[in-house]
Amino acid sequence: MTTSPPLHSGSDSAALPAGQVVGIYQDRTKHRFLAYAAGPTTLDWDARPEPFRHFAGTPVIDLPLASADALGMAPLRPAVPDLASIGALLHLSFGLTAWKTLGPDRWAVRANPSSGNLHPVEAYVLVAGVTGLDDGLYHYLPDRHALELRAQHPQPFAAGPALAVGLTTVMWREAWKYGERAFRYCQLDTGHALGALRYASALLGWRPMEQLRVGTETLAALLGVDRDEDFPGRRADVSREEAEMLLALDLGRGGVAHAPSALRAAAATAVWQGVASVIDPFPMFHWPLIAEVALATRRPDDCGLPPIAGLLPRLQPAARILARRSAQRFDAAHVMSAAGFAQLLDALSGDVDTRLSLLFFVHRVEGMEAGLYLLPRGPWGPALCDSLGEGGSLLPQPGPGGLICLQRLAPVELRRVARSLHCHQDIAASACLAVGMLAPFGPLVEAQPAVYRDLLREAGLLGQRLYLEAEAMGLRGTGIGCFFDDPVHEAARVATPDFQSLYHFTIGLPVDDERIETTPAYPALAENPAS
């Protein structure tokens, strides 16, 4: 059985099984009414981590900016991989969509959302046999919409033309604000990034495929994030990146399964270039628990885990992807239409292999009484239903098995409950509805600790779908990572710790802050967009 170093609890305990490390981490990072998970006692917003990583001393290739009007429908045939199509893919998945300004503060909005807008996910592109680019590894620069050459590959990772996207996380970006709970948020953000890549790929006639055989160590070597000399800084936990996922792009030709041996060979012969920029020169806190759960959940090559569940998304036009925003406030009087709610349930009902069931806090939906509802999903849905306490009754609603009414509440009482459970945030009470994502945990994670990352990523993937489904209804969504874990389980009548709430989401009619000024993401590129 895989073991990890002891948790930093002030004792000299022996090494623990990896599954137990994950269980302790999940419990220790729960928010409770009497105490939040361990985090920083102060934040200096003028000294927050650098949001954009660069590699000094390496060539930079500017990418053309795709026209949103040209990417509004399914293509007749898969796009040819070139600078234009790669530029469109990266812009719609990882690029900037606008700049926001309020007084002296200025910040970027991206196609993929992030907890606290801190964006721990970095994107790398592996290229073989693509016109206009040498074979090698490239790092994407979202602030410039460009690629920087990280490594040349004398021995390509695949027979061209071939593309793959590697995802890493700079965990300090989240830990700087959220402390020990940051590992959760990094995995949620990785799921959002996967979702964004799926939507962007669909508009090009491509499909990202998880490279399930590739373990963490192999991926780290391939992406160069195991190279200590290339990541300077006062502390390794601050400067380094954690290897997360490798996704080969099916360009319509098939043949996207990459053997770990071929990837290791490409990494071994790579000619590396560049030194990473410093993320935070003066970090104030240290969270060893994050490194321990990261180690416990890394996967070996050929570990046999299934892919993350999720249907191919409904096609969303580029204009809608670029317009996506997180709402900061909701109109507390707006009512979601019955047709809109049915559309939402339909979008959530087709993932037969999903491990996530959904808890709905229904405030204002046409034709529905306010209350708490459960939508069991996937093969774990029956087990979740079996764990429920007394009082649930089936309601006839679209979706497999229907919604289970857990409790009807007066609107005022439901708003109080929703606000309290979501760390006293008003956005959970003023939305038309809030959604909690419940996942099987105990036996699943104990048997395969690496599945912990997958469950959180699946939740983030679902969150990305909810964002764009909300936009399609003329509404807006906002992900919520702060909630009181065990009180949520009690509200959902879940009587076993084998199910855990991983992520929450709200949907409603946004109330925009008119003081915030919005400007184009890439004004210089927008003058001459690629067609």
Dihedrals φ, ψ of 323, to 5°?
Answer: -90, -10
Cβ–Cβ under 8 Å, residues 429 and 418: yes
What distance in Å separates the CA atoms of residue 101 and residue 317, rounded to the nearest whole number?
A: 26
Indicate the Cα dihedral angle 186, 191, 195, 200, nearest 10°: 40
Cβ–Cβ under 8 Å, residues 500 and 438: yes
Joined tokens for residue 199: 């939507």
pLDDT at 362: 97
Cβ–Cβ under 8 Å, residues 19 and 4: no
Strands (E), 418-469: 433-440
What distance in Å separates the CA atoms of residue 352 and residue 212, rounded to the nearest whole number?
A: 20
What distance in Å separates the CA atoms of residue 269 and residue 164, rounded to the nearest whole number?
A: 18
What distance in Å separates the CA atoms of residue 81 and residue 87, rounded to the nearest whole number?
A: 10
pLDDT at 526: 67
What distance in Å separates the CA atoms of residue 83 and residue 94, rounded to the nearest whole number?
A: 16
Report the 10 Å Cβ neighbour count for 75: 15
* Angstrom distances, CA of residue 353 to CA of 380, 385, 387, 437, 516: 9, 17, 20, 15, 42
Q: What is the pTM of this model?
A: 0.95
Indicate the Cα dihedral angle 358, 361, 366, 370, nearest 10°: 130
Query: Could you give all domains of the chain from N- to C-terminal order, each with its CATH number?
Result: 3-12+42-296 (3.40.109.10), 326-508 (3.40.109.10)
Nearest alpha carbon to residue 368 among 416, 411, 330, 427? 411
Residue-by-residue pLDDT tens, the chain, 531 positions: 344 444 444 444 348 999 999 999 999 999 999 999 999 999 988 889 999 999 999 999 999 998 777 787 778 799 999 999 999 999 999 999 999 999 999 999 999 999 999 999 999 999 999 999 999 999 999 999 999 999 999 999 988 799 999 999 999 999 999 999 999 999 999 999 999 999 999 999 999 999 999 999 999 999 999 999 999 988 999 999 999 999 999 998 877 889 999 999 999 999 999 999 999 999 999 999 999 999 999 999 999 899 998 777 788 999 999 999 999 999 999 999 999 999 999 888 878 899 999 999 999 999 999 999 999 999 999 999 988 876 555 454 443 347 889 999 999 999 999 999 999 999 999 999 999 999 999 889 999 999 999 999 999 999 999 999 999 999 999 999 999 999 999 999 998 899 999 999 999 999 999 999 999 999 988 654 543
Residues 6+ apart with CB under 8 A from 162: 126, 127, 128, 129, 130, 156, 248, 249, 251
Nearest alpha carbon to residue 117 among 167, 68, 176? 176
Measured in whole angstroms, the distance separating CA 106 from the mean position of its chain's CA atoms is 23
* Angstrom distances, CA of residue 361 to CA of 73, 325, 341, 433, 501: 34, 22, 13, 5, 14
Angle, helix 216-223 to helix 260-269, in steps of 10 degrees? 30
Q: What is the DSSP letter of 9?
A: S
Nearest alpha carbon to residue 485 among 20, 28, 90? 28
Tokens 């996530």 -> residue: 356
Q: What is the DSSP letter of 43?
A: -
| HEC per residue, 323-373 | HCCECCCECCCCCECHHHHHHHHHHHCCCCCCCCEEEEEECCECCCCCEEE
SS3 403: strand
